[in-house]
Chains A and B, each alone.
Chain A
Amino acid sequence: MHRMLHMEPSLCTGCLQCEMACSFEHEGEFNPARSRIRVFEFEHGRISVPYTCTQCVEAWCMKACPTAAISVDTQLGAKLVSPEACVGCKACVAACPFGTIEFNPASGKVDKCDLCGGDPKCASACPTDAITYVDAGASGVGRMQASAQQAAQGGAS
Chain B
Amino acid sequence: MSWQGKILRVNLTSGEIAPEPLNMEWANDYIGQRGLGTKYLWENMDPKADAMGPDNVLIFASGPLTGTGASTSGRYAVITKGPLTGAIACSNSGGKFGAELKYAGFDLLLIEGRSEKPVYLLIEGDEISLASADKIWGRTVWETDQWIKKQHHNPMLKIAAIGIAGERGVRYAAVVNDLHRAAGRSGVGTVMGAKNLKAIAVRGTGGVRVKDPKRFMEVTGEMKNLLAKETGGLTKYGTNAMMDTMQEFGGLPTNNFQQVQFDGYDKVDAKAMLKTDETGHTNLLTNKACFGCTIACGRIAHIRKDHFTIQNRKEYWHASGGLEYETAFAFGPVVGVDDIDACTFAGYLMNEHGIDPISFGVTLAAAMELFEMGVITTEDTDGVALNFGNAEALTIMAEKTGKQEGFGEILGMGSRLMCEKYGHPELSMTVKGQEFAGYDSRALQGMGLGYATGNRGACHLKHDTFDVDMDDQTGEGKAEPCKTSQDFTAAVDSSGLCMFTMAAWGAPEFAAQLDADSEGDWTAERLIESGERIWNLERMFNLAAGLTRADDTLPERLLKDPAPSGTAKGRVNELDRMLPEYYALRGWSEAGEPTTETLNRLGLG
- A residues with a Cβ closer than 8 A to B are 10, 13-17, 20-21, 23-24, 27-34, 43-46, 48, 105, 125, 127-128
Complex: A48 Cα to B318 Cα, angstroms = 15
Complex: A20 Cα to B290 Cα, angstroms = 14
Q: Known contacts being A27-B207, A43-B318, A44-B319, is A33 close to B292, with CB within 8 Å? A: no
Give the 6 A-B CB pairs with smallest separation, nearest first.
Answer: A29-B207, A31-B207, A15-B289, A46-B319, A33-B205, A13-B289
Q: Mark B318-335, 1 if CB is under 8 A from A, else 0.
A: 111100000000000000
Q: Mark B540-559, 1 if CB is under 8 A from A, else 0.
A: 00000000000000000000
Q: Which of A10, A20, A43 has the most CB of B within 10 A?
A: A20
A–B complex contacts, Cβ < 8 Å, 7 sampled: A15-B293, A15-B294, A16-B96, A24-B213, A30-B67, A46-B286, A127-B224
- Closest CB in chain A relative to B125 CB, distance in Å: 9
Contacts of A17 in B (CB 8 A): 69, 71, 292, 294
Query: Could you tell me if B228 and A127 are in contact, using CB atoms closer than 8 angstroms?
Result: yes
Q: Which of A14, A105, A125 has the most CB of B within 10 A?
A: A14
Contacts of A30 in B (CB 8 A): 67-69, 207-210
Q: Which residue of B lies closest to A24 (CB)?
A: B69
Query: Could you tell me if A15 and B205 are in contact, using CB atoms closer than 8 angstroms?
Result: no
Q: Which residue of A lies closest to B203 (CB)?
A: A33
Query: Could you tell me if B213 and A44 are in contact, using CB atoms closer than 8 angstroms?
Result: no
Q: Which of A17, A31, A45, A125 has the most CB of B within 10 A?
A: A45
Contacts of B300 in A (CB 8 A): 44-46
Complex: A10 Cα to B99 Cα, angstroms = 25
- Closest CB in chain A relative to B320 CB, distance in Å: 4
Query: Could you tell me if A31 and B296 are in contact, using CB atoms closer than 8 angstroms?
Result: no
Contacts of B179 in A (CB 8 A): 44-45
- Closest CB in chain B relative to A63 CB, distance in Å: 29
| Cβ contact of A28, chosen from B71, B204, B209, cutoff 8 A | B209
B contacts with A: majority SS: loop
Q: Which residue of A lies closest to B318 (CB)?
A: A43
Query: Could you tell me if B228 and A15 are in contact, using CB atoms closer than 8 angstroms?
Result: no
Q: Which residue of A lies closest to B287 (CB)?
A: A13
**B53 located at the interface, meaning its Cβ lies under 8 Å from any Cβ of chain A in the complex:** no
**B180 located at the interface, meaning its Cβ lies under 8 Å from any Cβ of chain A in the complex:** yes
- Closest CB in chain B relative to A130 CB, distance in Å: 11
Q: Mark B280-319, 1 if CB is under 8 A from A, else 0.
A: 0000011111111110101010100000000000000011
Complex: A116 Cα to B159 Cα, angstroms = 33
CB within 8 Å of A: which of B205-224?
A: 205-210, 213, 217, 224
- B residues with a Cβ closer than 8 A to A are 67-69, 71, 96, 99, 103, 156, 179-180, 204-210, 213, 217, 224, 228, 285-294, 296, 298, 300, 302, 318-321
Q: Known contacts being A17-B69, A24-B213, A24-B217, is A45 close to B207, with CB within 8 Å? A: no
Contacts of B291 in A (CB 8 A): 15-16
Contacts of B318 in A (CB 8 A): 43-44, 46
- Closest CB in chain B relative to A19 CB, distance in Å: 9
Complex: A10 Cα to B285 Cα, angstroms = 11
- Closest CB in chain B relative to A125 CB, distance in Å: 8
Complex: A128 Cα to B302 Cα, angstroms = 23
Beyond A33-B204, A45-B320, A105-B205, 9 extra complex contacts between A and B, CB < 8 Å: A13-B293, A14-B289, A15-B292, A15-B294, A30-B69, A31-B205, A34-B205, A45-B288, A45-B321
Q: Known contacts being A27-B207, A31-B208, A44-B320, is A21 close to B292, with CB within 8 Å? A: no
| Cβ contact of A21, chosen from B69, B71, B103, cutoff 8 A | B69
Q: Which residue of A lies closest to B68 (CB)?
A: A30
Contacts of A128 in B (CB 8 A): 296
Q: Known contacts being A15-B294, A20-B292, is A31 close to B206, with CB within 8 Å? A: yes
Complex: A34 Cα to B68 Cα, angstroms = 14
- Closest CB in chain B relative to A127 CB, distance in Å: 5
Query: Could you tell me if A13 and B204 are in contact, using CB atoms closer than 8 angstroms?
Result: no
Query: Could you tell me if A44 and B204 are in contact, using CB atoms closer than 8 angstroms?
Result: no
Contacts of A33 in B (CB 8 A): 103, 156, 204-206
Contacts of B298 in A (CB 8 A): 45
Complex: A127 Cα to B235 Cα, angstroms = 12
Complex: A17 Cα to B69 Cα, angstroms = 7
Contacts of A16 in B (CB 8 A): 96, 289, 291-292
Complex: A24 Cα to B517 Cα, angstroms = 14
Contacts of B294 in A (CB 8 A): 15, 17, 127
Contacts of A34 in B (CB 8 A): 205, 207
Q: Which residue of B lies closest to A30 (CB)?
A: B208
- Closest CB in chain A relative to B386 CB, distance in Å: 30
- Closest CB in chain B relative to A17 CB, distance in Å: 6
Q: Which residue of B lies closest to A32 (CB)?
A: B103
Query: Could you tell me if B103 and A31 are in contact, using CB atoms closer than 8 angstroms?
Result: yes
Contacts of A43 in B (CB 8 A): 318-319
Q: Which residue of B lies closest to A128 (CB)?
A: B296
Q: Which residue of A lies closest to B302 (CB)?
A: A46
Contacts of A24 in B (CB 8 A): 69, 213, 217
Complex: A27 Cα to B204 Cα, angstroms = 16
Contacts of B207 in A (CB 8 A): 23, 27, 29-31, 34
Complex: A17 Cα to B319 Cα, angstroms = 24
Contacts of B287 in A (CB 8 A): 13
Q: Which residue of A lies closest to B227 (CB)?
A: A127
Q: Which residue of A lies closest to B299 (CB)?
A: A45
Query: Could you tell me if B209 and A29 are in contact, using CB atoms closer than 8 angstroms?
Result: yes
- Closest CB in chain A relative to B299 CB, distance in Å: 10
- Closest CB in chain A relative to B155 CB, distance in Å: 9
Q: Which of B99, B228, B288, B290 has the most CB of A within 10 A?
A: B288
Q: Which residue of A lies closest to B320 (CB)?
A: A44
Contacts of B69 in A (CB 8 A): 17, 20-21, 24, 30, 125
Query: Could you tell me if A13 and B209 are in contact, using CB atoms closer than 8 angstroms?
Result: no
- Closest CB in chain A relative to B205 CB, distance in Å: 4
Complex: A45 Cα to B288 Cα, angstroms = 7
- Closest CB in chain A relative to B143 CB, distance in Å: 14
- Closest CB in chain B relative to A16 CB, distance in Å: 6
- Closest CB in chain B relative to A93 CB, distance in Å: 16
| Cβ contact of A46, chosen from B103, B213, B285, cutoff 8 A | B285
Query: Could you tell me if A28 and B321 are in contact, using CB atoms closer than 8 angstroms?
Result: no
Complex: A125 Cα to B69 Cα, angstroms = 10
Contacts of A29 in B (CB 8 A): 207-209
Q: Which residue of B lies closest to A21 (CB)?
A: B69
Query: Could you tell me if B180 and A45 are in contact, using CB atoms closer than 8 angstroms?
Result: yes
Q: Which residue of B lies closest to A10 (CB)?
A: B286
Complex: A107 Cα to B302 Cα, angstroms = 44
| Cβ contact of A13, chosen from B156, B180, B206, B288, cutoff 8 A | B288
Complex: A29 Cα to B102 Cα, angstroms = 12
Complex: A57 Cα to B296 Cα, angstroms = 36
| Cβ contact of A15, chosen from B67, B217, B296, cutoff 8 A | B296
Q: Which residue of B lies closest to A42 (CB)?
A: B319
Complex: A43 Cα to B146 Cα, angstroms = 12
